[in-house]
Amino acid sequence: MTALKGFTQLLQLDGQDNRLYTDIMLSELERINSIVSELLLLAKPQVTLQREHNLLTILEKVNTLLEMQAIIHNVQLVAEFDTGMPLLKCVEYQLKQVFINLLKNAIEAMPHGGTVTVIAGWFDDRHVSVRFIDQGSGIPLASLDRLGEPFYTTKERGTGLGFMVSYKIIEDHGGRIHVESEEQKGTTVEVILPIDKV
């Protein structure tokens, strides 16, 4: 894949007008790369060191990353964070991957715009909670039961791996994901994480 990507980029530098083809090729190569990365994450055991991180800082980074995508989709991001939250033992890049996936899903669930609210706070005295609440069309009950299944997707160009990878990452952190949805009203995805997981 690296060679394919490199030669495609060389074609872009060529004086001829190959732009349309090379853009499509690079886009599809990125898609393949993303799918392979997700499959590798599921297939091989992850030996990762969890360190203490500020959950709110991770969420702020994710909001900043997806701010432009939200604007393009006419979606307003609203953050409601409890400032008295503890540090969380986690693998930062993995949690960031989960939050990016869930926030992207929430934004894409509202093709006509709306508001996505991200709420972070205490779930109970030993767990924290992050909720992603959209005003989209909701998920039918039959589809809701299948979320997290390998290769099951409701998106036209989806792989069904994003949610599955998210479930695995949160499970590896000793947490869980809970989804509630009502058609034509929206979806709430809640990530619950323990504060004392080593």
Say what the pTM is.
Answer: 0.74
Indicate whether 48 pLDDT > 70.
no
Indicate whether 198 pLDDT > 50.
no
Tokens of 183: 């058609």
Per-residue confidence (pLDDT) for residue 145, from 0 to 100: 73
Alpha-carbon distance 13 to 8, whole Å? 9
Alpha-carbon distance 66 to 132, whole Å? 13
Please give the order of strands across the beta sheet that includes 127-133.
75-81, 114-124, 127-133, 186-194, 176-182
Q: What angle do CA 12, 34, 29 make, to 5 degrees?
A: 25
Alpha-carbon distance 162 to 38, whole Å? 8
Tell me which of 70-74, 144-148, 176-180 is least confident. 144-148
Write the CA distances from 149 to 86, 180, 188, 193, integer angstroms: 32, 17, 19, 21
